[in-house]
Amino acid sequence: MNSQLLIDRFGRFHDYLRISLTDSCNFRCFYCMPDGPLNALPSQKLMSPNEIFHFAKFFSDLGVKKIRLTGGEPLVRKEFSHILEMLAQLPVELTLTTNGVLIDKHIDTLRKSGIQSINISLDSLNPETFFKITKRDDFDRVMKNIEMLIDCGMHIKINAVAMRELIEHELIDFIEFTRDKPVHVRFIEFMPFSGNNWSSNKVISADQMMKLVGSEYDVVKLRDKPHSTAKKYKVVGYEGTLAFITTMSEHFCGDCNRLRLTADGKLKNCLFGKEEWDLLTAYRNNSDLMSIVEKCVEAKFDKLGGQLNPDFEKIDLDAIDNRSMIKIGG
């Protein structure tokens, strides 16, 4: 097949696909959910397990090397194990982003799937703050599940959304979490999506966080992998690492290799793009998928979906036309 199809007009080759398995979730993180009722998709609008497999194989044949399963919460999808077993047959690096609460239920499938790295979202190491953010009392279960994954030898990245008021109190606790655990904490600058009450004064930039960390610790810069969204560091002598995902203060669009497939089968060429290409309807109507993918890749903007101001202080949330994060799939 023609892998040229995945190269955009800026020469970026898109070999990483993120597939959202559902837009439902068992948590209610306020920075991710839209205001108002959730209106989860009815099951006939979701890609079926066979459709997910078909699209994953289609993109793998085109040159995609890595597939991340996300959501909503991917582990609430009732066919999760079946989907994972099917995708594990493909010649791609398979990985997962999850809130971690159902890991214990799926641990055997995860081990058998050959997944080696999992991203767990955990925004606080304080049970009360965890509850305030997620509206769920599952802190202990998530922490136990993280330990379980570490014991299985998985590479664990912890995604913490960094919002000024919240993270300032916890930065040091998170760094201490890396002292004798092989965990890789990544602070994600708070991003704007429709209905998530974002404002620029809630963003704490990587530079600001690094100043706080640097005043307490001896920190060294580590080498970042190609296409990595995270700038990685390590406290000297600590087992784990820390990193910053600087989407707001210093975007990394020039090196972007990601495409996204939403749970209802729409292809997005950027997290912040408003345009979507309906692959699922095309597939169900036996239409040509190649030409749709070609149009989607061709239309990709050089940066930030063509609609976010690179100076985040000038972003107007009300002017953004996009899905909420839970409906895109992180």
Judged by the rule CB under 6 A, the positions of this chain that interact with ligand SF4 are: 25, 27-29, 32-33, 71-73, 99, 121, 326
Please answer whether residues 194 and 320 qualify as being in contact, where contact means their C-beta atoms are separated by less than 8 angstroms: yes
| Neighbouring C-beta atoms of residue 268, cutoff 10 Å | 25
The span from the CA of 18 to the CA of 24, in Å, is 16
Interaction partner, residue 33 (ligand SF4, ligand SAM, none; CB < 5-8 Å by kind)? ligand SF4
* CB of residue 320 to ligand SAM, shortest distance in Å: 12
The span from the CA of 60 to the CA of 52, in Å, is 12
The span from the CA of 110 to the CA of 143, in Å, is 17
* CB of residue 227 to ligand SF4, shortest distance in Å: 23
Kindly state the DSSP code that residue 299 receives in the 8-state scheme. T
270 binds ligand SAM (CB under 6 A): no
121 binds ligand SAM (CB under 6 A): yes
- Which stretches of the chain are DSSP H helices? 49-62, 80-87, 103-113, 127-134, 139-151, 164-167, 171-177, 206-214, 279-284, 289-298, 325-328
193 binds ligand SAM (CB under 6 A): yes
Please give the C-alpha separations between residue 18 and each of 57, 64, 148, 302, 318, in angstroms, as whole numbers: 13, 10, 25, 19, 26
110 binds ligand SAM (CB under 6 A): no
73 binds ligand SAM (CB under 6 A): yes
Candidates 25-33, 126-134, 261-269, 315-323; binding stretch for ligand SAM (CB under 6 A): 25-33
Interaction partner, residue 70 (ligand SF4, ligand SAM, none; CB < 5-8 Å by kind)? ligand SAM
Half-sphere CA count of 228, side-chain side, radius 13 A: 12
Which of 97, 178, 194, 229 contacts ligand SAM by CB under 6 A? 97
The phi, psi pair for 94, rounded to 5°, reads -100, 135
* CB of residue 280 to ligand SAM, shortest distance in Å: 20
The span from the CA of 258 to the CA of 20, in Å, is 13
* CB of residue 135 to ligand SF4, shortest distance in Å: 9
Interaction partner, residue 190 (ligand SF4, ligand SAM, none; CB < 5-8 Å by kind)? ligand SAM
Which residue's CB atom is positioned nearest to ligand SAM? 330
81 or 98: CB nearest ligand SAM: 98
- Binding footprint of ligand SAM on the chain (CB under 6 A): 25, 31-32, 70-71, 73, 97-99, 121, 159, 161, 188, 190-191, 193, 196, 325-326, 330
